[in-house]
Amino acid sequence: MSESDAVRELMEADRWIERVSAQRNHLPELEELKNVEEELRSLLKSLHEAEDALSPVEHAYDDAAKEADRLRTRASDLSARLAASTANARELAAISGELDHVRALLAVSEDRELELLLALEPLQEVVARIKERAQPGVARRTSLQSSILELQQTLDDELVSLRAQRQEKALHVSSAVLSRYDAALVRAGTSGAALVDAGRCDGCRIALSPLDLDRWKSQPADSFMACPECGRLLLA
Ligand SMILES: [Zn+2]
């Protein structure tokens, strides 16, 4: 195998690694996950707002219900005392007067309880609806996360094997050329060599000047002129 062929194989191995890495990092599932998470974050914000609106009404309703309960108990105690009482007429009138008062308070309290109950229902419904809307997103997020994990694991395994093959191919390139190749790879990324295609370097896509093109064409075999733009070793 000529040195040019060895460099070409190394370039192809590096380009292949680059493609698989790009695929790993730009999975369509990653983009979709980002969108799903954004939607869930916005639903969570709405949920917090709805819960903030609901919470004071819930507390007020609980307080009103407790107060109505207290008055109901008090009224039934007074009724029982009145029924069983052997007290004199004045005391009976006092108990009966208090009972009327407690019943009046109870009526107001029950109205309040009902009013708050009616206010509570639509607010609870908003909370429930937001939770319901979030459910498919939550399920989709879980399924995307597991697909991404699986796909990336597969691609990572592939990259391990591609990198091993790449190291194998590097052994066929002389150390002087390999160090030039690796330096160009570090500087330019993707690969340390590129093909000349219709007068252009296919690494950086810049056209060679007529002078550079002549220089490149007339260079001795396996001497590897570097692209004046990106520094990659130019191959035919
Ligand atoms: Zn170039």
Task: Output the CA 13–ligand 1 centroid distance in Å.
Answer: 18
Task: Provide the mean pLDDT of the chain.
Answer: 96
Angle at 140 (CA atoms; ends 41, 127), nearest 5 degrees = 45
Range 159-185 average pLDDT = 97
Range 29-42 average pLDDT = 97
pLDDT of amino acid 86: 79
Range 166-176 average pLDDT = 97
Range 6-14 average pLDDT = 98
Task: Output the CA 20–ligand 1 centroid distance in Å.
Answer: 22
**Tokens linked to 129:** 């609806």
Ordered structural domains, the chain, with CATH: 24-170 (1.10.287), 175-235 (no CATH)
Cα–Cα distance for residue pair 126/168, rounded to 1 Å: 63
Task: Output the CA 228–ligand 1 centroid distance in Å.
Answer: 7
**Tokens linked to 90:** 């004045």
pLDDT of amino acid 222: 85
Task: Output the CA 156–ligand 1 centroid distance in Å.
Answer: 29
Q: Is the predicted pLDDT of residue 172 greater than 80, yes or no?
A: yes
Write out the H or E segment, with its range, that includes residue 65. Answer: helix 28-84
- DSSP annotation of 233 reads E
Q: How confident is the model at residue 119 (pLDDT cuts 50, 70, 90)?
A: very high
Q: Is the predicted pLDDT of residue 10 greater than 90, yes or no?
A: yes
Task: Output the CA 191–ligand 1 centroid distance in Å.
Answer: 11
**Tokens linked to 117:** 């109950």
pTM of the model: 0.74
pLDDT of amino acid 18: 97
For a pLDDT cut of 90, what percent of the chain falls above it? Answer: 93
Task: Output the CA 226–ligand 1 centroid distance in Å.
Answer: 8
Q: How confident is the model at residue 85 (pLDDT cuts 50, 70, 90)?
A: confident
pLDDT of amino acid 221: 83
Task: Output the CA 227–ligand 1 centroid distance in Å.
Answer: 5
Range 11-18 average pLDDT = 98
Cα–Cα distance for residue pair 208/202, rounded to 1 Å: 11
pLDDT of amino acid 1: 85
Angle at 29 (CA atoms; ends 131, 40), nearest 5 degrees = 20
Q: Is the predicted pLDDT of residue 87 greater than 90, yes or no?
A: no
- Look-up of token digits 């062929």: 5
Q: Are 194 and 18 in contact (CB under 8 A)?
A: no
Q: How confident is the model at residue 76 (pLDDT cuts 50, 70, 90)?
A: very high
